[in-house]
Structure 1
């Protein structure tokens, strides 16, 4: 353990320390009614270097800040070889940052992450990423009165103030949108989609759960191509795709996932998942002893009222053609119809603006 003034830092080594690292957030958000406590089993799997295939191409360190004998903050620092390949070999990341409203704690945590990255040859630091741009990313700066949707982070209002005071500046805006699925498309767009539906070259279908792994790999292949020129892009590896497919399979429904083919070749994909955070808010981070029954009930007995769009894209070869908007709108509209028919109401999507 190292001392920074009155603040002590300890690096996370053992599993018991990792649990303490995860639980740091509990006191910080104790008075925040919008915070959704993550499942311990999910956070452990994310941060476990032996289970998360992210660590096949990345390395990370985790630290806990202590003051007067109690944990008051945490941070991770990551070096991702794929991120460096796509964005420059000088970049390093920080993430998992949580802290009490104390600038000295933020300064200590960020200083440690910066020192660790500098020692590894990095000259730029960017974050927060939990753990990469393919996971939870960005710092919440508006919308603190809204619970986070699945795979989106949360923060206290003072985080931005302390980071900016320590010299950090915005790298890119991440904007979250909400769509009322009960509202039909404007007539002009509806007519456009109807015309496209008559094009014999275009086939729109649900995924085939009998070929689930193969279908998910098609989706990830489209994603890696469609998003490859976007700011912050880091490709998902085949191992990460397989891991993701296993993780989300329990909440995947074929009617909420679309593949769009042109002349028999997969060219677009649209994935929606139920917002499990709406159910998890009452779990206090534990599935046992009976939480899993409530989870199943919340997701499958009653139809989810809120959905999240974690993946959507059209291959680059199509993006400058007249098909691009047509494929995207078709996938959104056909999914919307099926969801509304089953009782769904809202859809959430997060997009990265700027290239």
Structure 2
């Protein structure tokens, strides 16, 4: 193969998939902020047991140049996204590449051709493999590791994608806050006033012993609170069950909260410890020794990530969001956590960002979703 020829090959065999999954170790060698993914968990994205694939297609590719893999990508078609948004949009994800524009061009050309041949009109990404998972390209905030279930990439990726004609579709923000100074008095007052104004409002932690019933409430609030958000895709019952089953052993009940008025559940918030600080030590493998490390170092985690916080549309602007933030803050503080990340927040969600600013949060990372017409 000539040095300037790039062959883009579909990943079809177990051997190919192993090479696809291990490629990031070449890109991030020596990068102290990279968190190696758990290989078994990551491989599940491409397994037929993944319920996402019951309504979607993921086709992974690698780019070969000079006899070795120089990049990877996947073409993604999510029929639930298309049906929900009535948009002929496909996606790319799982993108990694050496700093070589020709490799990125070859990979994206392959994805665009695949989507175009299936009558799609727009490509968006990166998503791994949807907005319900890791999504976005880090474009600002490279000086620290990502929080749990947030992406990370080299700084040069933005230039590679823009060099292929991709434009900004939406920016997503990650905010950081520290508990050193406690909860601002203003937020305490807002919380107290909100409780006084809403008769029957209660905040309670998740009941792990009744998890099946709690999951029904989570899905109800999720669909009601997020469905009008940009990029939202409703989770199927199978996907919600899988997410809960994979996270239930990681949950801290006092950091998973429901807001109710009378017998109606109107809001939900979930924060998880930043397990990335532990996963980084495992180098992609959670064997018996890795499990012991995980259990040992999990006790030293001092950061939580607020992953979800939403209130049904008809109950917004009453201060319920502030109450949920306040409760998470105080409960996290009581458990010994000293820092929180609140992510991700859409750039055009001023109500949520205003609440975070009032808590003392500061935007410290920006992730971008790109798009291009096909």
Q: TM-score category by the smaller chain? A: over 0.9
The number of residue pairs the alignment matches comes to 347
CA contact (8 A) 2:33 2:144 kept: yes
Moved more, 107-116 or 188-197: 188-197
Matches within 5 A, 1:1-355: 6-48=5-47, 50-198=48-196, 199-299=198-298, 302=299, 304-319=301-316, 322-323=317-318, 326-350=319-343, 351-354=345-348
1:172 aligned counterpart, secondary structure: strand
Question: How far did 1:43 drift?
Answer: 0.4
> Hey, what's the Cα distance between the residues in 2 that align with 1:227 and 1:298?
34
> Hey, what's the Cα distance between the residues in 2 that align with 1:93 and 1:184?
42
CA contact (8 A) 1:303 1:343 kept: no
The CA deviation string for residues 184-243 of structure 1, in whole angstroms up to 9 with x for no partner, is: 332222122123334541011001111112212311321121111111111111111000
> Hey, what's the Cα distance between the residues in 2 that align with 1:226 and 1:164?
33
The CA deviation string for residues 272-300 of structure 1, in whole angstroms up to 9 with x for no partner, is: 0111110111111111240111111222x
CA contact (8 A) 1:36 1:280 kept: yes
2:73 aligned counterpart, secondary structure: strand
> Hey, what's the Cα distance between the residues in 2 that align with 1:328 and 1:235?
22
> Hey, what's the Cα distance between the residues in 1 that align with 2:66 and 2:222?
47
Question: How far did 1:33 drift?
Answer: 1.2
The match for 2:365 is none
CA contact (8 A) 1:258 1:270 kept: yes
CA contact (8 A) 1:3 1:9 kept: no
TM-score (structure 2 length as normaliser): 0.89
The CA deviation string for residues 329-350 of structure 1, in whole angstroms up to 9 with x for no partner, is: 1112112212111211111122
Question: How far did 1:117 drift?
Answer: 0.4
The match for 2:366 is none
Higher relative contact order (CA 8 A, sep 6+): 2
CA contact (8 A) 1:36 1:147 kept: yes
> Hey, what's the Cα distance between the residues in 1 that align with 2:329 and 2:215?
20
1:33 aligned counterpart, secondary structure: coil
> Hey, what's the Cα distance between the residues in 2 that align with 1:106 and 1:76?
12
> Hey, what's the Cα distance between the residues in 2 that align with 1:183 and 1:294?
32
The 3 A distance-change label for structure 1 pair 196 and 89 is closer
> Hey, what's the Cα distance between the residues in 1 that align with 2:66 and 2:300?
47
- Any stretches of 5+ residues in structure 1 without a counterpart? none
The 3 A distance-change label for structure 1 pair 226 and 203 is same
